[in-house]
Structure 1
Amino acid sequence: MKKRIRAGVCSIALPYLLLTGCSQAAITEKQVPGQNEKSQSAINEKPYDTKELAKSPRFALKPTYQAIEPSEKARPFETKYTKDELARIPISEANGDKRERSVPLGQTLQKGVADETEGPLQKHRIVAYYGNPNSTHMGILGEHSPQALMKKLKEQTRAYSELDPKRPAIPAIELITTIAQRNPGEKGLYVHPTPAADIDEYAKLAKDNHGLIILDVQLGRDSIMNQVKSLEKYLKLPYVHLAIDTEFHVKEGQVPGVNLGHVDGRNVQEAIDYVSNLTKENRLPDKFVVVHQFAGKIISNKSAIHPAKNVEVVLNNDGFGVPPLKTSGYLQLVQKEPIQYGGFKLFFKNDQPLMTPKDVLALDPAPAFINYQ
């Protein structure tokens, strides 16, 4: 069965990304009540005094996040599956025609891989909602007002804390900051930037709710480093992290959605090292970088990607479809080609049926990062 490609831009309906009409007009197709009154520069943090930073301990700025704590009744996830339920978890977990078996909660860190940082994934899991606030086609962020979104996100996050109380989950917003499109735009890069006011608003939303925000770049014909450097002022904040949507990176003569994108793992690593150095120089809490992948050929030189001293790395299995197809992709891309932590993406509208948190945590390794579109 051929894996269906998700559309992170304007449509998720067809096997190959349909970005028709994804010009600037698509970005403003919908205004959710409560989003018109933008915050006045939510990122008005004062510049850091480098001389003072040099005198401070390793972290001048402390983590601002708070995990959603489990209830007192929560117990580590271990359950019995019926034969029908076994069809929704990886083939490697099934055991012939045995009608039920116990599936213990697995570790989140890939076997044989260390985490030398003090990042959030050491002791926590991250649950994120993905999308852009100005479009209903790119994920759940465009379907709710900011406060309604955060309430729903916290409820989703709590479900994972209840199943794995030893690793309470942190709510996060994954905001698409560079949107791939078919229109080449003024610079011919086939991307449209999300307005700074939107980034400011959702960064403040995450901060005010003790969550995290992940800034996602879809690249188009631009380079990874150009896009990452354009986000530097945000990455200097302690609650901001990075995600790279690899399938939207195309070369000259190609168009996002018409042609399947590709990145070189060495360029991904350059971005990871850049974030690590930025974190060190600004005495920030350690960060993480999410690398999206749903097909093997999208990333070459994958072995070049590795965690850095100040950065954790999540390899996020990114594709929609029936559960056996999704879990098979996780097995091939994450379990068999490990980097550090596993991530798993779910699609509210395009996964049939939508896997439950219990299904997700049955994966091996148990994903440390789960995002919903």
Structure 2
Amino acid sequence: MLSEDERRDRRERRRQDLRRRRLGALGGLLLAIAALTAGIVVGSGGDEPSRGGGQAASGQGDGEEAKPVPPPQLPRGGRRIFPDNRVVAFYGAPNAAALGILGIGTPTRAGRKLQKVARPYVRAGRKPVLPAMELIATVASGASTGGRYSYRQPRAFMDRYLKAARRAKALLLLDVQPGRADFLKETRALRKWLREPDVGLALDPEWHVSDTQIPGKALGSVEAADINRVSKYLSGIVRQGNLPQKLLIVHQFTPGMIKNRSQLRRYPGVALVMNIDGFGNRADKIAVYRDLAPRGRKLGRGFKLFYEEDEGLMSPREVMRLRPRPDVVVYE
């Protein structure tokens, strides 16, 4: 039987191998972007995301009163994500299977598979399920890319996945792997989509490094104060647009990945979730989850499942037996 130190070393070696494979996939993704973008037709009408939370237009004619526009809803109704729903998400990037299940096949096909995977959680968790597509919008890179060590996906990609998410009545979550860039700056660059009622955000501190480090070679982290700034910014968007509650996921698999986590704050209109990304066998995954999953109701809890890296994928029923029970389940 392996000692705890040996198990920890094994997990770290596997995590390093995973980061190397992801960086290799990112290189291929960079080469494919130009060709893929050329094949995406974004119309000037129906392809443009419709704005939520707008005010009613003035009357249709003289003497007619404008009808009030109801506030925008979540994809499957209502304006509050938690505790009314459980979120089940697919994670990934376009045409990059090594970066997650969402990148396999077309967005529409991924949406259909997501709905199928999410369905058993309704019965296992005894709660409505809200599907979500977690699309890597800012992608960490081992290349400098102007000193950022990350690049932003083309706007057409985000629009394409938002359309697919809406067909599946799912949320779109834009994932940020900033490299040496700043989380808040990258979040502001996504404002066009974050103003939509069905678009949330995810932060990936593993890929947030200092000015002397390279993503994939160094394990990144984030300060609680930086997360608070992003959360406050999202809260402002929710307030200004009278939007439904907005989901903010922060990924974590080591204690030091979120520094000063106890200082995280809750902001109105934002559901903040710590998603625990341990992988390997069931015992290791459950141990990492128990160590890092927040207690109480201040922060939501998430749990990630890896199709390739996990040793035997846990079933929805097994996931729902976790204590505390996760509010979010992400498949990569």
- Which range, TM-score by smaller chain? 0.7 to 0.9
Cα distance change on mapping 1:327 and 1:178 into 2, 3 Å = same
Match of 1:278 in 2: 237
Percent sequence identity over aligned pairs: 31
The 5-angstrom pairing of residues 9-88 of structure 1 reads: 14=17, 16-18=19-21, 20-21=23-24, 25-29=28-32, 36-40=39-43, 42-45=47-50, 61-66=71-76
Structure with more helix by fraction = 2
How big is the shift at 1:285? Answer: 1.0
Q: Given that residues 286 and 310 in structure 1 are in contact (C-alpha distance below 8 angstroms), is that contact kept between their aligned partners in structure 2?
A: yes
Deviations 1:87-146 (A, max 9, x none): xxxxxxxxxxxxxxxxxxxxxxxxxxxxxx952122110100000012111011221222
Match of residue 91 from structure 2: 130
- Partner amino acid, structure 1, of 2:11: R
Say whether the 8 Å CA contact 1:315–1:339 is kept in structure 2.
no
Residue type matched to 2:43 in 1? Answer: Q
**Which residue type is aligned with residue 45 of structure 1?**
S
Given the alignment, which residue of 94, 98, 106 partners 1:145? 106
CA contact (8 A) 2:42 2:48 kept: no
The alpha-carbon deviation at position 211 of structure 1 amounts to 1.1
Once the two structures are superposed, what CA deviation does each residue of 1:138-167 show, in whole Å capped at 9, x if it has no partner? 0112212222211111111101012133x1
Aligned equivalents of 2:213 and 2:111: distance in 1?
37
Take 1:181 and 1:6, find their aligned partners in 2: how far apart are those partners? 20
More RCO (CA 8 Å, sep 6+): 1
**Judging changes above 3 Å, is the alpha-carbon distance between structure 1 residues 134 and 334 closer, same or farther for their aligned structure 2 residues?**
same
Q: Which residue of 1 aligns with 2:308?
A: 349
Quote how far apart the aligned CAs of 1:62 are. 1.8
**Which residues in structure 2 correspond to 1:275-314 (within 5 Å)?**
275-314=234-273
2:21–2:98 Cα contact (<8 Å) kept = no
CA contact (8 A) 1:22 1:181 kept: no
Q: Is the 1:28–1:134 contact (alpha carbons within 8 Å) kept by the matching residues of 2?
A: no
- Residue 124 of structure 2 corresponds to 163
Pick one of 162, 166, 173 that aligns with 2:133: 173
Deviation of 1:13 (Å) = 7.8
Among residues 142, 151, 154, which one is paired with 2:115 in the alignment?
A: 154
Checking the alignment, whether the CA contact within 8 Å between 1:289 and 1:311 is kept in structure 2 is: yes
TM-score (norm 2): 0.85
CA spacing shift, 1:47–1:359, aligned 2, 3 Å: closer
Q: Cα deviation per residue 1:236-292 (whole Å; 9 max; x = unaligned)?
A: 000000000011100111000101101101110110011011100111111110010
> What residue is the counterpart of 2:143 in the other structure?
183
| Aligned partner letter, 1:14 | D
Does the Cα contact within 8 Å between 1:179 and 1:219 map onto a contact in 2? yes
Indicate the SS of the match to 2:157.
Answer: helix
RMSD, matched Cα? 3.0
* Residue segments in structure 2 that go unaligned for 5+ positions in a row: 1-6, 58-65
2:169 corresponds, among 206, 210, 214, to 210
Q: Is the Cα–Cα contact under 8 Å of residues 6 and 17 in structure 1 kept in the other structure?
A: no
Instruction: Provide the residue aligned with 2:155 in structure 1.
Output: 196
C-alpha separation in 1, matches of 2:13 and 2:85? 27
Quote how far apart the aligned CAs of 1:48 are: 7.0
Q: Matches of 2:23 and 2:246 in 1, distance apart? A: 35
Equivalent residue letter for 1:223 = D
How many pairs does the alignment contain?
Answer: 313
SS in 1 for 2:273: strand
Q: Partner amino acid for 1:285?
A: P
Distance 1:62 1:50, change over 3 A: closer
Quick one: which amino acid aligns to residue 150 of structure 1?
A: G
Q: Compared with structure 1, are the counterparts of its residues 122 and 301 closer, same or farther at alpha carbon in structure 2 (3 Å cutoff)?
A: same
Q: Given the alignment of the two structures, is residue 260 of structure 1 paired with residue 219 of structure 2, yes or no?
A: yes
Question: 2:93 and 2:203 mapped to 1: Cα distance?
Answer: 15
Contact kept in structure 1, 2:115 and 2:131, CA below 8 Å: yes
